[in-house]
């Protein structure tokens, strides 16, 4: 699906204005009841803001009580007159569908199509770059990140204030350009630490620059058209080393992402961003992530735990901050549903495309479940038509593991199971699976360092942190017994005349 101008809502026939940046995305949400909440009540960015949103709409793997709810804009941030902070823009699959002009359960296919329709970014002049309407240079003695931008401290245990939705753009003269989201902790007036999970392409660019003794110029782009951060979270092999993920956002919108030359460094920035931080990752310099607080913790990560503070992280030396007038700082609650949208929907699309190429039509739907933060748990719907398909279902799981290395568990279900309904998936596991026959484990495979069970302290057989056993839970009915596993079929009746107040849909 390519959208060039006005678009049609994912759930209605109403024509909606196009989304070109964060503000037009917010305007769209304002027209849909229950999707955006603005408050003028004072909120402290140190712990309080995230604590509020935990109960309003974070969802995901956040400690209960939590829920899926509206995005929120805080217009009265303590200590930052005039500042606004947005949280939860993509913290529901329904809302992402609304923002990407697609029904929520078809987002996998929409993202998969965007890869095929990718359009590379274009460079525009500074006169078209709203991200540079206001420029703060770090060589000004009054410059101080800590007072300029209201970066939230999510919990009392955090190492410090974090930019949680900063899209880092970097390039290598031989390998190309990469954009990825990393945790960024404010360490001083003009310094930010940056954490790279193993295998990130932009970290390879940084390493090559460091080996050559060169500072590595990067821009940190915040407050974006949601198509950009969602498109940026694809990983190899879908997006190999040097692939510019901004092209996927171009495929989603049917128009290229606009870039502009940075104001103080030789790098590009996203022209319609709300806020851009410009700077260099310094060669050879490292800091402890919690050097200012000594809490031992970093921030809440997507598995639902406080990540340990890293004792030695690279440092971004900030040269400038550029913004729109009255900028909106966008953030997220790390373990929340927003991470599932950002990481999980691209994961689904990568697996879907690979399976379609390997066994066309056999896996019509893929769901990267929020219990795994969009990374650890996938559910595959398998369309069995012959006895041979019993084995093909398990082969599909192996293909998925090969496509997305951070997957830990895969659940296979039949086509009569709703993969977006956890109760339905658990029902299939209870009635179509025997542990000694239908659970397959693959030990000693690379996983993800932020899973606390993936370390030798948990399992001494593991050689290093970030190594895991991967598991296939085959909850599909054996083909030869398919008649035994037929669900009870009810008469299909339009319920709307009987319950008009429930706003039900039919069919």
Residues 313, 281 contacting (CB under 8 angstroms): no
Give the C-alpha separation, 226 to 73, whole Å. 16
pLDDT of the residue at 8:
39
**Is residue 489 in a domain?**
no
**Is residue 137 in a domain?**
yes
Question: Which residue in 429, 449, 438, 310 sits closest to 375, CA to CA?
Answer: 449
Token digits of residue 494:
């339009």
* CATH number of 285's domain: 2.30.110.10
95, 243: one domain? yes
123, 267: one domain? yes
pLDDT of the residue at 214:
97
**Is residue 249 in a domain?**
yes
**Is residue 507 in a domain?**
no
**Distant-in-sequence, close-in-space partners of 75: CB < 8 Å, separation ≥ 6:** 38, 39, 40, 84
Specify whether 301 is catalytic: yes
Rounded to two decimals, the pTM is 0.93
Q: Catalytic: which of 245, 278, 289, 301?
A: 301
**Is residue 495 in a domain?**
no
Question: Which residue in 415, 314, 335, 326 sits closest to 61, CA to CA?
Answer: 335
- Distances in whole angstroms, Cα of residue 426 to Cα of each of 275, 369, 412, 483: 43, 13, 11, 20
* CATH number of 478's domain: 3.40.1670.10
Q: Tens-of-pLDDT digits for all 507 residues of the chain?
A: 223 333 434 444 556 779 999 999 999 999 999 999 999 999 999 999 999 999 999 999 999 999 999 999 999 999 999 999 999 999 999 999 999 999 999 999 999 999 999 999 999 999 999 999 999 999 999 999 999 999 999 999 999 999 999 999 999 999 999 999 999 999 999 999 999 988 889 999 999 999 999 999 999 999 999 999 999 999 888 999 989 999 999 999 999 999 999 999 999 999 999 999 999 999 999 999 999 999 999 999 999 999 899 999 999 999 999 999 999 999 999 899 999 999 999 999 999 999 999 999 999 999 999 999 999 999 999 999 999 999 999 999 999 999 999 999 999 999 999 999 999 999 999 999 999 999 999 999 999 999 999 999 999 999 999 999 999 999 999 999 999 999 999 999 999 999 999 989 899
330, 416: one domain? no
**Is residue 500 in a domain?**
no
Give the C-alpha separation, 273 to 22, whole Å. 8
304, 449: one domain? no
Token digits of residue 8:
């049609």
How many domains does the structure of the chain reveal?
2
Domain that holds residue 434: 359-482
**Residue 2 CB neighbours (<10 A):** 13
385, 248: one domain? no
383, 300: one domain? no
261, 363: one domain? no
Give the C-alpha separation, 376 to 399, whole Å. 15
**Is residue 287 in a domain?**
yes
301, 370: one domain? no
291, 207: one domain? yes
426, 308: one domain? no
pLDDT of the residue at 286:
98
**Is residue 392 in a domain?**
yes
Question: Which residue in 329, 269, 320 sits closest to 130, CA to CA?
Answer: 269
Token digits of residue 27:
């305007």
334, 367: one domain? no
Instruction: Give Dmax over CA atoms of the chain in angstroms.
Output: 76
368, 329: one domain? no
pLDDT of the residue at 15:
66
pLDDT of the residue at 14:
59
């Amino acid at each position: 699906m390519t959208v060039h101008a006005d678009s049609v809502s994912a759930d209605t026939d109403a024509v909606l204005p196009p989304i070109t940046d964060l503000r037009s995305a917010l305007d769209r949400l304002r027209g849909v009841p229950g999707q955006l909440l603005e408050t003028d009540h004072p909120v402290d960015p140190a712990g309080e803001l995230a604590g509020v949103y935990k109960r309003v709409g974070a969802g995901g793997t956040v400690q209960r009580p939590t829920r899926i709810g509206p995005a929120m804009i805080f217009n009265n941030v303590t200590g930052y007159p005039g500042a606004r902070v947005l949280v939860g823009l993509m913290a529901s699959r329904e809302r992402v569908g609304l923002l990407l002009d697609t029904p929520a359960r078809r987002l996998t296919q929409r993202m998969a199509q965007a890869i095929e329709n990718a359009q590379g970014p274009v460079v525009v002049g500074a006169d078209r770059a709203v991200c540079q309407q206001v420029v703060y240079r770090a060589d000004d003695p009054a410059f101080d990140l800590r007072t300029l931008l209201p970066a939230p401290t999510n919990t009392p245990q955090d190492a410090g204030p974090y930019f949680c939705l900063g899209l880092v753009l970097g390039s290598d003269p031989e390998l190309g350009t990469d954009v990825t989201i990393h945790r960024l902790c404010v360490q001083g007036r003009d310094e930010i630490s940056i954490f790279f999970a193993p295998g990130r392409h932009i970290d390879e660019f940084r390493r090559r620059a460091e080996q050559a003794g060169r500072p590595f110029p990067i821009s940190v782009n915040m407050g974006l058209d949601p198509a950009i951060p969602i498109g940026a979270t694809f990983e190899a092999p879908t997006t190999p080393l040097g692939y510019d993920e901004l092209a996927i956002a171009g495929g989603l919108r049917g128009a290229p992402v606009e870039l502009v030359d940075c104001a103080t460094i030789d790098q590009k920035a996203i022209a319609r961003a709300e806020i851009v931080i410009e700077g260099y990752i310094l060669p050879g310099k490292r800091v402890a992530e919690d050097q200012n607080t000594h809490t031992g913790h970093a921030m809440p990560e997507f598995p639902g735990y406080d990540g340990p503070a890293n004792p030695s992280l690279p440092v971004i030396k900030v040269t400038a901050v550029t913004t729109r007038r009255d900028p909106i700082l966008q953030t997220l609650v790390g373990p929340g549903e927003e991470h599932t949208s950002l990481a999980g929907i691209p994961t689904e699309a990568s697996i879907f495309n690979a399976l379609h190429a390997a066994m066309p039509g056999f896996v019509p739907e893929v769901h990267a479940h929020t219990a795994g933060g969009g990374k650890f748990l996938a559910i595959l719907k398998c369309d069995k038509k012959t006895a041979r398909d019993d084995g093909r279902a398990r082969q599909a799981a192996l293909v998925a593991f090969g496509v997305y290395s951070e997957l830990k568990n895969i659940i296979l279900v039949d086509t009569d199971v709703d993969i977006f309904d956890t109760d339905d998936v658990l029902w299939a596991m209870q009635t179509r699976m025997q542990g000694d026959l239908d659970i397959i484990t693959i030990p000693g495979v690379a996983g993800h360092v932020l899973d606390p069970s993936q370390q030798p302290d948990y399992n001494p057989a593991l050689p290093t942190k970030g190594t895991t056993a991967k598991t296939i839970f085959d909850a599909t009915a054996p083909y030869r017994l398919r008649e035994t596993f037929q669900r009870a079929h009810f008469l299909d009746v339009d319920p709307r005349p009987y319950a008009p107040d429930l706003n039900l849909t039919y069919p």
